[in-house]
Structure 1
Amino acid sequence: MKLQIHATLDYSVPVPTDLLLHVEAAHLPEQTVSDAVIQLGDHEHFARVPAQDNIGERISLRVAERLSVDYRATVDINRKLADISGLEAVPPHLLPGPTVPYLLDSLYCPATRFRSFVEGEFGPLSGGARIAALRDYIHQRFRYVPGSSTPQTDAMDTFVQREGICRDFAHLLVTLARASTIPARFASVYAPSVNPPDFHAVAEVFLDGEWHLVDATGMAQEGEMAKIGIGRDAADVAFLTAFGFANMVGQSVEVTAL
């Protein structure tokens, strides 16, 4: 699938502030990025820095008064697809080293607190069958409600409240996968069916020796997601991180399937 992406950000910045911007689709074997252009307003500093696990790049900026961003790109997705329910888990002792940190607790994903729950509810299932059941459980039991959570909401909060946004659904699926001893990480993506249109968040799980994107909201399929970046949770892959104050004036994301 080929996607056309257009994202804009407009933020007021009261005093000169350092920022990290992470909105560009990553150049990866599974997706080809072309016609990429990013236009930035006035800035005092610009540098590109590798993102988590060298998947994509962040832009380091220092701006005063205003942050203005206009990003456009075309992404051709050629990801290898599979029925996740038929994939096998990799035993922990055979996992590649870079996947091991994604078994552990992180700021928004307290996986160890959910081990008894996943074994009690999903004990007979393993590997991809367990992931498919976790995805369907979240999709069916939790409500997608824009504005229902805050940047501080973690997977336990979402589990108790039974509602959230894509970020919360992704955190919960990542948490339950890790509690099942399956490496899982948080992925930021562009996808054409997200409603309301916005930056989207999904889980990515390691099965049968490869990473696979899984969306518990049901709004995006693996073959139509353009990956921006990955991390242990949202703290690693925010589209904008401000080391100071930045107030949103306007923001838009348009993703069109060509």
Structure 2
Amino acid sequence: MQRVVTAELDLELGSSVDLIFSITAAQSVPLASEVLTFRQGDREYTPTEIVDQSGSRLHRLTGEAGRLEVRYEATVDGTATSTRTSDLEAITYLRPSRYAQSDEVFAQARRQFRGLSGHDLVAAVTEFVSTSVTYTPGLSLGTDSAVTTLMTGQGVCRDYAHVVIALLRAMDVPARYAACFAPGLQPMDFHAVAEAYLDGAWYVIDATRLADRRSLVRIATGRDAADCAFLSYHGGHVGLSHLRVDAWSIPDAASADGLEAEASASSTDDHVALVQIF
């Protein structure tokens, strides 16, 4: 199955500023084509690409005052290769982090999910977060954490992911955050999910249940949203005047039957089965 992903960002830079973007498909994603441009008037910037330990690709440049237009488009063809998780990495994803304070939810997790492990634990945590948090665009803040979301009962995809991660870590399951493109997502945007480490593999959890996990395209991976921001900057003022993200799947068969089969397949993610981001 091919997937096409795009992102458009228009930034207003108040002065010279160090910009770091995380908007492209991760290093492991098989790409048939890819175009990434940074334009400011007649000038086109060439960024420095930095790949982190998880395979996230960061693009860094120094922008000057004015309007910067960022455009990205890629076609994904095939499935991503899985990489071995080291013992150190697994330990890292057991520890509390800024937005996923597993130490602060430890007592609740141990009380609520006592006796559960493996797939049963993942399914129970997914169901709990899905039914106890209401998807509310525009109401949560970028500084909200898993603890905040559990108290307010509202949030967006990043908040759902943080709660899942915090609860799983409190139950001694390594868990991490993944930023993705999500074909079929409504409302369309960059998407965030959690991943749980079971029996030597990472399995994706989308407690929002808004996207088909099998079609996700990985952008970045980290402890929580602090490691996976689509834009970070230092040394100046940056305003975001336009953001548009899109992603869609191309059926394997370019026939009406193929389209029907694709639509049927995309509607069968029960969000219970163990699924990996390919």
| TM-score in same-fold range (> 0.5) | yes
Aligned partners of 1:160 and 1:54: how far apart in 2? 31
Deviation of 1:214 (Å): 1.1
Indicate yes or no: 2:103 matched with 1:112. yes
Structure 2 stretches of 5 or more lacking a match?
Answer: 251-278
2:249 to 236, 239, 257: 257
Indicate yes or no: 2:49 matched with 1:58. no
Counterpart residue identity of residue 130, structure 2: H
Structure 1 stretches of 5 or more lacking a match?
Answer: 81-94
Kept in 1: contact 2:133–2:153 (CA 8 A)? yes
**Residues 1:217 and 1:252: Cα distance change in structure 2 (over 3 Å):** same
Runs of 4+ in 1 over 3 A off after TM superposition: 42-45
Kept in 2: contact 1:103–1:182 (CA 8 A)? yes
The structure with more radius of gyration: 2
Query: SS in structure 2 opposite 1:167?
Result: helix
Deviation of 1:184 (Å): 0.6
Kept in 2: contact 1:77–1:223 (CA 8 A)? no
Query: SS in structure 2 opposite 1:15?
Result: coil
Indicate yes or no: 2:25 matched with 1:25. yes
Deviation of 1:257 (Å): 1.0
Aligned partners of 1:132 and 1:41: how far apart in 2? 45
Kept in 1: contact 2:176–2:224 (CA 8 A)? yes
Deviation of 1:44 (Å): 6.3
CA RMSD of aligned residues (A): 1.8
Percent of matched pairs sharing the same residue: 32
For these two proteins, the number of residue pairs brought into alignment is 242
The Cα offsets for residues 214-246 of structure 1, whole Å up to 9 and x where unpaired, read as: 111001233110000101111111011121321
Report the counterpart of residue 34 of structure 2 in structure 1: 36
1:176 to 157, 161, 167: 167
Counterpart residue identity of residue 245, structure 1: H
- Normalised by the length of structure 1, the TM-score is 0.89
The Cα offsets for residues 130-165 of structure 1, whole Å up to 9 and x where unpaired, read as: 111111111111100001111111110000000000
Kept in 2: contact 1:77–1:225 (CA 8 A)? no
Deviation of 1:67 (Å): 2.4
Kept in 2: contact 1:9–1:252 (CA 8 A)? yes
Kept in 1: contact 2:37–2:45 (CA 8 A)? no
The Cα offsets for residues 166-221 of structure 1, whole Å up to 9 and x where unpaired, read as: 01111111111111110011100001122111000000111110111111100123
Indicate yes or no: 2:205 matched with 1:204. no
Kept in 2: contact 1:40–1:70 (CA 8 A)? yes
Aligned partners of 2:55 and 2:68: how far apart in 1? 24
Aligned partners of 2:107 and 2:160: how far apart in 1? 20
Kept in 1: contact 2:30–2:80 (CA 8 A)? no
Aligned partners of 1:215 and 1:255: how far apart in 2? 17
Indicate yes or no: 2:193 matched with 1:219. no
The Cα offsets for residues 61-97 of structure 1, whole Å up to 9 and x where unpaired, read as: 11122221110001135369xxxxxxxxxxxxxx822
2:133 to 125, 142, 147: 142
Query: SS in structure 1 opposite 2:24?
Result: coil
Aligned partners of 1:161 and 1:55: how far apart in 2? 34
**Residues 1:103 and 1:251: Cα distance change in structure 2 (over 3 Å):** same
- Normalised by the length of structure 2, the TM-score is 0.83
Kept in 2: contact 1:142–1:162 (CA 8 A)? yes
Kept in 2: contact 1:27–1:33 (CA 8 A)? no
